[in-house]
Structure formats: structure tokens, C-alpha cells
Amino acid sequence: MEEEKKEVVEETKAPETAPIPEVNVSEMNEEEVQLEKADAKYDAGNIQVLEGLEAVRKRPGMYIGTTSSAGLHHLVWEIVDNAIDEALAGYCTEVKVTINPGDTITVVDNGRGIPVDVVKKSGLSGVETVYTVLHAGGKFGEGGGYKVSGGLHGVGASVVNALSEWCEVTVHKDGGVYYIKFVNGGKIVEHLKKIGTCDPKANGTTVTFKPDAQIFTDTTVYDYTIIRDRMRQVAYLNRGIKIIVEDARTPEKVHEEFCYKGGIKEYVLFINNHKTRLFDEVIYCEGTAPITLASGSEAHVYAEIAMQYDDGYSSNVYSFCNNVHTHEGGMHETGFRDAIRRVVNAYARQNKFLKDGEDDLTVDDITEGLTCVISVKHPNPQFEGQTKTKLGNSEVRKIVSQIVGDQLNRFLLEDPRLARIIIEKIVTAANARLAARKAREEIRRKGGLELNTLPGKLADCSSKNPEECELYIVEGNSAGGSAKNGRNRETQAILPLRGKILNVEKAQAKRIFANAEIGNMITAIGGGIDPEFDTSKIRYHKIVIMTDADVDGSHIRILLLTFFYRFMRPLITEGYVYIAQPPLYKVEYHGKQYYAYNDDQLETIKQKLKLKPGYPFQRYKGLGEMDAEQLWETTMDPSNRKMIRVTLNDAIAAEQIFTDLMGDNVDPRKEFIHANAKFVKNLDI
């Protein structure tokens, strides 16, 4: 089960002799700030004007978010988005993405080809303008080359060029083949020139680039799985477009093709592949509505929605605008929720599923067990929110609400059998919600969820500053005792678990909230539970899962992650959850102790110390085998410990892995074990 977290978490390990880096300029003390002010002379000489793409290289995070693996892959998305924009405009039917040996990327499309004639305002060719001038492209204003675009800022191609060691662009356009090459962040070494001829109908653009290792210092190695999954998603969101993905870094070249005539209807079926669906049909709604642009001219918004129910308890609504995943939701999601609440309650009352005087069904009731994909194509989207992934166009709310309202109502009226299945599922969810509320109120009445009655098993820390406080959730009382004795009492709190917690993926809410171990965690963490969970109220900014390095420990770890994902998801999305990494081996040599966290490290230690056969070493089977001093030194001391921060890279991938590993369906777990058994070492049975 150790491999199970690969789809859900991103490793950020600290160096062996240093704490996890959390550098923030706001942490400068007052004396340091005064020194900064005293030395700072501020006049016109301090004003810097960054020319061309220099600004991108100076502050890459402003353009791609991060220079870690996520930023590295973002370069691919920028170039692919340009090709997809051509497809949305009706001029591209095929896109091919190849990871080449040496981790360079090639993206080929059969669109119109980037213009090669001179742009009047820049005095440069269209290709050179697009790849060297920020905020330049065919996506601005009503006279641009695109009615709908995901890349609205005109910085994608130029940013990729700026952050590349080299970049080559070949354009097939109107019977000619043109080539240009850039190096060292956008400097032209070969100006645009015609290098041949081609079929006048064989238009398109080929881009090959090598990310700059001076920018991407963490890694320049591309993950095929990440690229494949993103390209598959793009294919689902744009029905009929063929996307090819290849990995040419190994002799056995990997080649996959994605093309879905059913679009997001097939996407919903893919997401629900391993779930028990209430019925096979996918409810599908689509429509186009006119809007008036700022200039007074008319444009159109296209919206499509696909949804299907399963027998689970989770709500999974995924929304997109112009292929951009709007993680934070927005007006399209609001319009969808308005419609389903209105239509379902009206149908339930008209058909006597709700009695007179009973409360309306809530959106949470209606979306329990629902998988829904919302996709909107907008000529002028306005993104907002913390990560700029929230759709803010107010007109979209009414458009989506009307489309879903009319077509969902028609679906329910035309198929009473499926309508009954859906409404009965929703009413059952409502009854479970009321039962869960009573269970919460009962626990609260007894003091189980009150912050002033912390769990008796919790050994709290003395600090009241959440930013410096850590909560270790520890497997077993024995390890809990060692952790309590070895911890830093100022900042580290310990909460021992008694055995394995409930699998919340299979349990109803009433049973979940009645579980003592879960109640203890809810109380200790202090932020409440979904949907009211609030990270501003949590008592610790590091929630550390510390379990044994064996199969049972891995199982407990995934049970805890499942609970956090389902009921405290912001803990994961905002980076508050960590996994402790206790050592697997202890080696004693000439009175000194050395710790190895895996077999490879053990071999390194053996070679370094030139150990003879029969050297004394110990393999830890559990945390309880360590005394307090050893546990502190190896696993809890910020200057030495290794930890993994749990992050949510892809909500859809995370949803699938939790469903596969923790759901009722056994077959996906069998498939997972068969696929990953070869990676497991030191399996204790």
C-alpha cells in the first residue's frame, strides 16, 4: 500500500540536517527590518526597467506559479493551450505531444500556423512577436483570431521561450515551411526563414523546447503520467479533437491516443468507472446564449453539463471554463446549484416525495453521490480568486441555471423511473443528514466537539500560536508514550490512536461522527468539519501522521488521508498535512548510531563505513521499538527529521484513487495491487 499515495501527494523532503524550509519575508524580525530601511536609498536610480522577456526570468513564479515540477509541466500546458485554441476556433483537429530524450518537449498541431508576415505594431514577424513580446497574440479584442480562448493573456508562448534553454518553432503555412530558433531565454540565433515548401493545405505549428535548468532547479524531468492525464482531460473537454501523447525516452516508445466523440459525457463515465452507478444513463444538458460585450456587440456563451449518480456519499462537481479547471468554482457552479435545487425540490413536492411542512432538500442532499462536469466556453472570461481559477462572469450564472433547469426538468418528466431512483437517493441523503446532525449535536452536548474540552488522550503543547504548533497523530499508545516523552512540549502535541480509524469512504455520516477516534481528531484540530470547516480556526499548522513503516501503518495512513480528504479537505489543499518518515534501520558502529530510511541508504552506510559481515544493526518494525530519545532524534527533531507534505495536485485523480483504494468495489484494488506489487520492498506479512 506504500505506493497508494503517489497519485495524491507530492513529496517535499527536507535535507537530513535541516528543517523543512518555510522561508517568508514576513518572518524578518524588527531589527532586521530597520536595518533594511536604513540601508535603502530610494530614488530614480532604484527604478529598474526589465526589457523583453527579462521580467519573466526574473520573476518566473508570477507567470507560471512555481518553478517546481508543477511549473515545469505548466510550460507544456501553455503550448498545448495555443493548439487547443486553434481547435476551438475550428481550425485544428489533431495535437501531438512528445517527451523527447533529454526531456525536451515537442508539440505539433494542424491548425492555421502562426502568422509569418510582419506585425505592423511590433515590426517583427508574427512568430517572433508571439514568442518574444509579452501580451502579444491573436486573442485580444473582438478583432482577434479567436472567439474563445483559454490563454487570454498573450503570455504563454513568450513565457515558455523565456524559461527555456532553447526553443525552436517550425510553421507550415500557405505552402511554405518557416523556421526560427531562440536560446538562453528568448534570444534569436536563427531568424525566421523559409526552409522549404509543403502542401498549401498542410498548415500547422511545431514547437520544441528545452526547459532551462537554471530556472527549474528542482527538476527538469517530465512525468509522463501527469502529461498523459492532462491531455486526456483536454480531449474529453473538446469532443472530437484527437490528442496523441508519446514518451520517446525509452526504447519501448509509449504511444497513446485520445479522442472522444461523447466529450464530457464520456468523461463522467470515466470518472465513475469504478463506482457503483445507480443507472447507466448520463444526464446531459447543453445550450448557447447571447451576451453583449463591452463594445456593445453580441457574442455567445456555450455551456454543457454532464452528470450521473452513484451509490456513494461524496459530491464531485468539476467545473471548467475554456478548458481551464476552475478549482475554486464560480458563477457556472452557482448557476448549476441554483437550478438543481429549484428543479429537484419542485419535482419532489409535486410527486409527494416531500410532505407539506417538510424542509426543502439542500444542495448537499441533491449532490450526494453525484459526479458532474460543467464546461463553459466564454468569449471574455473573468477569472478571480486566490489562484485565479474562479469564474467571475455574473451572466454565466443565469445562463447555466436556465440551461440546466429546463433540460433537467424535462429529463425527470420524461423518465419517471429514473426520476424516482434519483429522488429516493436524495431523500435518503437528507434523512442521513438529519441523523448526522443529531449525532453531532449529541457529541457536542456531551462536550465531544467543544474546543474547551480537548480529548483526554491529547498531550497538548504549551504554545497557543498555531503557526508554530504541530499535532502528531501517532499509531498506538506505546509509540504515543515515546512521542510524549521525547517531544518539544512547547510546540509539539501528541494524539495517540487506538488501532485503525473508521473507513469514512464506506460509512454513513451518523456512524462517522459517533466514532471516538474521529471525534478526538475533530476536537483536537479545532477547525470543525465539512462543509463548515475553517482553517483559520485550526490549532496546529502542521498535522503530522506518524505511523509504523509497515503494511498496517500504510493502511492507517490512507485511512487518515481519506478522512481529511472527505471532511477537512482544506487541510490538504492548503498544505497543513504531513507524513512523518521514521527510519527503517539503525546501525551501530564504534559506539555511534546511524539511521537508514530505506534499503538503499542502508547499503550506502555499509559502503561508507566498510562494515564487515555480522555488523550489529536493527530493523524497526514499529515506532514502539524506539525509546523517546531515538524517536525525537530521528523523526521529530526539526533539525534532522524527514517529512512529506501532502498536497492535492489533481482533485479528479485524487477522487479516483480514494474511490479505488477505499471504496466498496474490490476489482480496482486488485488491479492496483497487480500493477504496483513489483515496487513494494520489505513486505511484512
pLDDT of residue 176: 96
pLDDT of residue 453: 61
**What percent of the chain has pLDDT above 90?**
48
Query: How many domains, in total, are found in the chain?
Result: 4
497 shares a domain with 405: no
pLDDT of residue 32: 37
Asked if the structure places residue 1 within a domain, the reply is: no
Asked if the structure places residue 371 within a domain, the reply is: yes
Asked if the structure places residue 50 within a domain, the reply is: no
Asked if the structure places residue 51 within a domain, the reply is: no
**What percent of the chain has pLDDT above 70?**
82
Asked if the structure places residue 7 within a domain, the reply is: no
- What is the mean pLDDT of the segment spanning 237-260? 95
248 shares a domain with 129: yes
pLDDT tens digits along 437-485:
776 676 555 554 444 467 778 999 999 999 999 999 998 888 888 899 9
pLDDT of residue 137: 53
pLDDT of residue 150: 52
648 shares a domain with 502: yes
pLDDT tens digits along 128-144:
988 988 865 554 444 45
pLDDT of residue 170: 97
Domain CATH number, residue 206: 3.30.565.10
Asked if the structure places residue 19 within a domain, the reply is: no
Tell me the catalytic residues.
Answer: 475, 548, 550, 552
557 shares a domain with 492: yes
Asked if the structure places residue 632 within a domain, the reply is: no
| Three-class DSSP category at 113 | coil
CB 425 within 8 A of CB 412: no
For residue 162, is pLDDT > 90?
Answer: yes
406 shares a domain with 456: no
- What is the mean pLDDT of the segment spanning 523-530? 88
Of the candidate ranges 61-65, 466-470, 663-667, the one whose mean pLDDT is the lowest: 663-667
pLDDT of residue 79: 94
| Three-class DSSP category at 420 | helix
User: What's the mean pLDDT when you consider all of the chain?
Assistant: 83
DSSP letter for each residue of 197-247? E--TT--EEEEEEEE-TTT--S-----HHHHHHHHHHHHHHSTT-EEEEEE
221 shares a domain with 123: yes
107 shares a domain with 87: yes
606 shares a domain with 568: no
pLDDT tens digits along 368-413:
999 999 999 998 899 887 667 899 999 999 999 999 999 999 999 9
DSSP letter for each residue of 61-88? HHHHS-SSHHHHHHHHHHHHHHHHHHHH
Q: How far apart are CA 286 and CA 572, in angstroms?
A: 34
303 shares a domain with 236: no
Is residue 247 exposed (0-12), middle (13-18) or buried (19+ Cβ within 10 Å)? buried
295-298 contacts at long range (C-beta below 8 A, 24 or more positions apart):
295/142, 297/142
pLDDT of residue 624: 75
pLDDT tens digits along 296-314:
889 999 999 999 999 888 8
Q: How far apart are CA 353 and CA 652, in angstroms?
A: 33
Give φ, ψ of 126 to 5 degrees. -60, -40
pLDDT of residue 145: 52
Give φ, ψ of 580 to 5 degrees. -70, 150
65 shares a domain with 168: yes
Residue range(s) defining the domain that contains residue 293: 264-440
Angle, in degrees to the nearest 10, between helices 224-237 and 264-271: 130
pLDDT of residue 135: 62
Q: How confident is the model at residue 642 (pLDDT cuts 50, 70, 90)?
A: confident
| Three-class DSSP category at 171 | strand
